[in-house]
């Protein structure tokens, strides 16, 4: 079959071709709000066991596609697989969030022994999903951006204002640069292997980009993302890259211009009308319904959807949330969202 016979609305949009009905996927669409996810996770005994079992991880990737028919399937994995492959221990305790050990706040990066083979199950997951996915659905790979991943590697866990990592970056910029470079190199490899195994576009999640001052944002968000995008483009020029610098706010246009990403994800604090007027003409955007409007449902949900749709009258739009779907979101609200967008 030719490309023309197999229209993929999401991939086409990411390549700059606006669709009459915007394609939809939701960040964190495979996860705890789905009863079928919770059941499989309980059987496998935890998140990491699930994410490193290619058959099970492929099943979780496909669950939201089967239930809702989203235009995109996102690989079931986690941004913390890269620190794990860089040699930190990784665990996801129930109710306490992820832990990485030893934290780089007080351990040298050079003391870690890289274990890239830890990523092999992810590539097998990609091959399983690629073989099973229907031809209209676009398959998305992903990784965390260096800054966001570094906040976990330095603190050893999630942190509120990322103060420990920001302090590290000021105190020892050369040492911090080594951490960011190690993450970047592994990420280029990781995303290239995902693409070679069958993903059709990739997203860089920079969930904590919003905690940096403008100067630090240039150095630790824009510069390493630009390096990653350039390296990916050298190897896989046709594969679109979505950048999601959550919380970037007024720094978003610089991010869009300077990183080389093909499309930008907008978080829910960004005014979509402002974004449409400010971002480069023709650049595809993704976003940006408030995940809490989806959780609330009803008129608040309808209003939020309409506002996003109306803000981008000509620009290629991928409908998404401004951040990941919350675990308490009723599945009927997701059905309502799809019905309203697709008409």
Nearer to ligand CP3, 173 or 324 (CB): 324
DSSP state, residue 67? H
Nearer to ligand CP3, 304 or 322 (CB): 322
Nearer to ligand CP3, 92 or 274 (CB): 92
Residues 6+ away with beta carbon under 8 Å from 30: 37, 60, 61, 63, 64, 74, 76
Nearer to ligand CP3, 270 or 276 (CB): 270
CA distances from 13 to 81, 141, 257, 316, 343 (A): 28, 16, 18, 6, 19
In the set 10, 11, 65, 74, which binds ligand CP3 (CB under 6 A)? 74
Instruction: By CB under 6 A, tell whether 158 contacts ligand CP3.
Output: yes
Instruction: By CB under 6 A, tell whether 176 contacts ligand CP3.
Output: no
Residues 6+ away with beta carbon under 8 Å from 231: 188
Region from 71-79, 167-175, 192-200, 248-256 binding ligand CP3, contact rule CB under 6 A: 71-79
Residues 6+ away with beta carbon under 8 Å from 128: 54, 55, 57, 58
- The residues carrying an active-site annotation are 28, 32, 41, 78, 152
Q: How far apart are the first and last CA of the chain?
A: 29
Instruction: By CB under 6 A, tell whether 79 contacts ligand CP3.
Output: yes
Residues 6+ away with beta carbon under 8 Å from 74: 25, 27, 29, 30, 61, 140, 141, 142, 203
Site for ligand CP3 in 90-109 (CB under 6 A): 92, 97-98
Per-position x/- string for 177-216, each x denoting binding to ligand CP3 as judged by CB under 6 A, each - no binding:
----------------------------x-x---------
**Chain residues that interact with ligand CP3, rule: CB under 6 A:** 27-32, 41, 47, 74, 76-80, 92, 97-98, 142, 158, 205, 207, 324
């Amino acid at each position: 079959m030719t490309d023309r016979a197999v229209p993929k609305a999401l991939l086409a949009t990411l390549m700059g071709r606006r669709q009459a009905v915007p394609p939809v996927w939701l960040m964190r669409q495979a996860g705890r709000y789905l009863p079928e996810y919770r059941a499989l996770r309980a059987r496998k005994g935890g998140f990491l066991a699930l994410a490193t079992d290619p058959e099970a991880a492929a099943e979780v990737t496909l669950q939201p596609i089967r239930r809702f028919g989203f235009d995109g399937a996102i690989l079931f994995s986690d941004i913390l697989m890269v620190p794990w492959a860089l040699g930190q221990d990784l665990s996801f305790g129930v109710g306490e969030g992820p832990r990485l050990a030893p934290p780089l706040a007080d351990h040298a990066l050079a003391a870690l022994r890289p274990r890239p083979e830890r990523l092999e199950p992810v590539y097998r997951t990609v091959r399983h999903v690629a073989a099973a996915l229907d031809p209209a659905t676009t398959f998305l790979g992903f990784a965390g951006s260096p800054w966001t991943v570094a906040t976990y590697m330095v603190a050893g866990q999630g942190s509120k204002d990322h103060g420990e990592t920001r302090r590290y970056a000021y105190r020892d910029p050369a040492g911090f640069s080594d951490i960011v470079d190690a993450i970047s190199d592994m990420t280029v490899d990781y995303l290239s292997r995902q693409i070679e195994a069958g993903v059709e576009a990739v997203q860089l999640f920079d969930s904590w980009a919003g905690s940096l001052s403008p100067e630090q944002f240039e150095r630790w968000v824009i510069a390493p993302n630009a390096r990653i995008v350039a390296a990916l483009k050298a190897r896989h020029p046709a594969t679109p890259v979505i950048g999601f610098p959550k919380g970037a706010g007024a720094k978003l246009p610089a991010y869009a211009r300077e990183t080389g990403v093909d499309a930008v994800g907008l978080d829910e604090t960004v005014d979509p009308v402002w974004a449409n007027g400010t971002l480069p003409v023709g650049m595809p955007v993704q976003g940006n319904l408030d995940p809490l409007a989806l959780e609330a449902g009803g008129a608040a949900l309808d209003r939020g959807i309409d506002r996003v749709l109306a803000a981008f009258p000509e620009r290629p739009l991928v409908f998404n949330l401004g951040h990941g779907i919350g675990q308490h979101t009723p599945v009927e609200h997701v059905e309502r969202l799809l019905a309203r967008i697709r008409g």
